[in-house]
Amino acid sequence: MLIEAIDLHRIYRMGENEVHALRGVSFSIERGEFVSIIGPSGSGKSTLMHIMGCLDRPTSGSYILDGTPIEGLDDKRLSRLRNRKVGFVFQSFNLIQQLNVVENVEVPLVYMEMDRHERRERALQMLEAVGLGHRSQHKPNELSGGENQRVAIARALVTDPDLILADEPTGNLDTKTGQEIMELLKRLHEQGKTLIMVTHDLEKAKWSSRFIHMKDGKILHDFRDTDGADIVGMFYESTAEQEAQ
């Protein structure tokens, strides 16, 4: 088991008000799964992703990543865990504009304290793997959106993490480029990577093998083995079911 979440709660304090972003979420994910988390905005899916990526901690409940419970870890250990085990892919790519493409890919390796030459070599290999070897010296703003996202994926993969967390990876891309990125992610899944994708696009969720529907900080439904199944149909069924209650 790669991920185990037990009764996660997350409460934000906004002045006088308390916002319950997660209200008791439990699930587990095995190695090699490709999971989509779907839900409307405010459903808690982003909060869940931040906790899974070790960027945030639950207010209560426990989160165990690859056998390591994150409660009680200090900033240094949590950051190291994030660095080694997790690769993030964001909707808006989140590349550092001042750095060129290969330097961007190297950033996670800097925090692994890898030496300069090895770092460059690994980063170039990764860029080669996503088909951008020839763009290594360009600045991100000289590249197209699709290329930017490929760089971000290369950056997520460069530390050879156990888990790839993708937050609306195609949200800023046109349909055709989005398709290409999804194919790239699919290929990673086929190579045995564990992928978790947060999206509100049902069409993209179809690519995954498992599908978690969230609403109001809770898991509404968790569909397994969705390969070839009618995800859209299941989603509407689950929503209707919810509304009927």
Partner 1 sequence: MAHKMRSLLTTLGVIFGVAAVIAMLSIGEGAKRDALEQIRLLGTNNIRINAVKLTGDKAREAESKYSDGLSYKDGLLIRSNVPSVRAVTPIRFVDAPVMKGNKESAARVIGTDHLYTEVTNFSVDDGRFITPLDISEAKRVCVIGSKVKRELFGFRSPIGHRIRIGEEWFRVVGVMETKRLREGKASIIKIRDINRDIYIPITTALKRFRDEEKPFFVNEIAVQVKSAELVEPTARIIRRLLKRTHREVQDYEIIIPAELLAQSRRTQRVFNIVMGSIAAISLLVGGIGIMNIMLASVTERTKEIGIRRALGATEQDILGQFLNETVLISATGGIIGIVLGVVMAKVINIFAGWETVIALYSVLVSFGISAMVGIIFGIYPARKAAQMDPIAALRFE
Which stretches of the chain bind partner 1, using CB under 8 A?
50, 53, 55-56, 75-76, 79-80, 82-84, 88, 90, 94-96, 98, 107-108, 111-112, 155, 159
Q: Are 152 and 89 in contact (CB under 8 A)?
A: yes
Our CB check for partner 1 shows the closer of 155 and 213 to be: 155
Our CB check for partner 1 shows the closer of 125 and 179 to be: 125
Our CB check for partner 1 shows the closer of 27 and 90 to be: 90
As measured in angstroms, the least distance from the Cβ of 94 to partner 1 is 5
Backbone phi, psi, residue 44, to 5°: 100, 5
- Whole-number Å distance between alpha carbons of 90 and 166: 6
Displacement of CA 2 from its chain's centroid (Å): 14
Angle (deg, nearest 10), helices 145-157 and 116-129:
130
Our CB check for partner 1 shows the closer of 98 and 245 to be: 98
- What the block records as the tokens of 225 is 């083995």
Our CB check for partner 1 shows the closer of 86 and 231 to be: 86
As measured in angstroms, the least distance from the Cβ of 10 to partner 1 is 11
As measured in angstroms, the least distance from the Cβ of 76 to partner 1 is 5
As measured in angstroms, the least distance from the Cβ of 82 to partner 1 is 5
- Helix, strand, coil shares of the chain, percent, nearest 5, are 40, 25, 35
Q: Please provide the DSSP assignment of 181-235 as one string.
A: HHHHHHHHHHTT-EEEEEES-HHHHTTSSEEEEEETTEEEEEE---TTS-HHHHH
As measured in angstroms, the least distance from the Cβ of 184 to partner 1 is 19
